[in-house]
Structure 1
């Protein structure tokens, strides 16, 4: 079970839980940190894992700590994706982020854990971090997907995220979104059951093809994801557009709400009942929230 007070606070109101666009930037490219922030993503994730060669891990960690500490400049505000539990750099990275989090005004907004599989390990990590630093586990293996409800139930977890490329490798599946339907649905259902924010979908491998990025993001939205990871600033606009209610859906939602239906009725040739009214209210609320974030 989640810790009610702490879990609700992290899941419902923290910027990490509300992010729609989450942009990765390599941890060994500190000159790109400020550019990533300026790109306009809801959340910047500085990556110490896949984007950083093994020989650069220590240097990248040092650069991340300097950027998030700020020193003589304004601290970069970002989540950090550390390396997987059990890796040679995991303990060093966690210790550095724990020390950083004790500095007043630091820019650490969360920790992303790749290849998360065991709730007990996440809980142990949470005990080392301040309560206000949320954790986002990446489901990237069959075992991680199997245990995603337990992962989401750890009190410091604000939401889950999906790592499709590693997951496909782990289960030896074919290339293409249709082979990931079960995984996506399972992740969304587990998140809802654990009462955390809707998960972040895996990034599209397309960078320059805006229509494919938009299509991939729309797929994620229709599955029930709350946002999408991005690997390039060029993807941000398409992802944001896919998760923003269209003018047509907003018009429909307003018509449903304004109709004041109590029970079941017909509106524009379609049945309207309490679940439909609630869906309309959610569309209007989502549109308002995204408008304020823009």
Structure 2
């Protein structure tokens, strides 16, 4: 199972890397892009390479967000990714499938891409991006998208792009998409509401910028006790019957069974993480 929470850490703050990894997020994103000033890019790149070489971090828990393909730092970022053997890359400002191809070609064939879509052009080309070889899943950069379209801040402006990303991801048989960040660190209710909104369109993960947001996302991703009880009843009823059955007065058919199986899978995944971390 892929991460539910992705925690950003500035690439020029190596003293925070291990702390972020211990904060409970499914993965950390060591950031070379927005969080790092131009003058600090080279030092951040070296800090990431040095830490990866010595920390022994599991590859599935580490993502590096490089600078975008049109930036003057892109080539140097790719060289570091290749030399350090990093396997997961977040590609910002993804607008064309060709950007994914270029990134993988310049690094390693084993590299997988979290395509961060942040613009109207990216949404317009989302089907091709989702089908690009090497894309693991798509993340939605809601703040940059809103700026690109000069949206007033009403979440209704995100309905169409979230829907397009979710449908493109499912059609391409990708993992479900990742919701954008919530910038207000002091309003965890906003984090919760933002994730609930994104989940309504099929997102199963969220980008975080502080460890306290991670707890909210991880908690909301877990099925409730009532959901687990219901799923167990559905699966037991389906197992014991070769025909149509009812649970709590409602007909159990294949979509209901699939939903119950998904709930149990989410429950078991969290249990496994708690016992292995």
TM-score by length of 1: 0.86
CA-CA distance at 1:267 after TM superposition: 2.6
For 2:162 and 2:231, the matched residues in 1 are separated by 26
1:38 matched to which residue of 2? Answer: 22
Correspondence 1:242 to 2:196: no
Correspondence 1:287 to 2:256: no
For 1:273 and 1:94, the matched residues in 2 are separated by 49
Structure 1, unmatched stretches of 5+, are 1-12, 102-107
For 2:116 and 2:265, the matched residues in 1 are separated by 28
2:47 matched to which residue of 1? Answer: 63
CA-CA distance at 1:262 after TM superposition: 5.1
Give the secondary structure class of the aligned counterpart of 2:182: coil
Alignment of 1:235-274 (within 5 A): 235-260=213-238, 264-274=244-254
Q: Residues 138 and 177 of structure 2 are in contact (CA less than 8 Å); yes or no, is this contact kept in structure 1?
A: yes
Alignment of 1:1-294 (within 5 A): 18-70=2-54, 74=56, 78-101=62-85, 108-260=86-238, 264-294=244-274
For 2:130 and 2:72, the matched residues in 1 are separated by 25
CA-CA distance at 1:224 after TM superposition: 1.1
For 2:144 and 2:70, the matched residues in 1 are separated by 17
Give the secondary structure class of the aligned counterpart of 2:7: strand
Could you list the per-position Cα deviations for residues 34-71 of structure 1 after superposition, in whole angstroms to 9, with x for gaps in the alignment? 1111112110000111111122112211211111122x
Q: Residues 139 and 145 of structure 1 are in contact (CA less than 8 Å); yes or no, is this contact kept in structure 2?
A: yes
TM-score by length of 2: 0.91
Give the secondary structure class of the aligned counterpart of 2:15: helix
Change (3 A) 1:180 1:264: farther
Give the secondary structure class of the aligned counterpart of 2:76: helix
Q: Residues 33 and 76 of structure 1 are in contact (CA less than 8 Å); yes or no, is this contact kept in structure 2?
A: no
For 2:23 and 2:232, the matched residues in 1 are separated by 32
For 1:160 and 1:26, the matched residues in 2 are separated by 21
Number of aligned residue pairs: 270
Compare 257-266 and 277-286 and name the one that shifted more.
Answer: 257-266
Q: Residues 24 and 215 of structure 2 are in contact (CA less than 8 Å); yes or no, is this contact kept in structure 1?
A: no
For 2:102 and 2:242, the matched residues in 1 are separated by 48
Give the secondary structure class of the aligned counterpart of 2:114: strand
For 2:245 and 2:237, the matched residues in 1 are separated by 10
Could you list the per-position Cα deviations for residues 136-195 of structure 1 after superposition, in whole angstroms to 9, with x for gaps in the alignment? 110100111121221121221111101000000111112032221111111111111001
| Displaced runs of 4 or more, over 3 A | 73-77, 261-266
Structure 2, unmatched stretches of 5+, are none
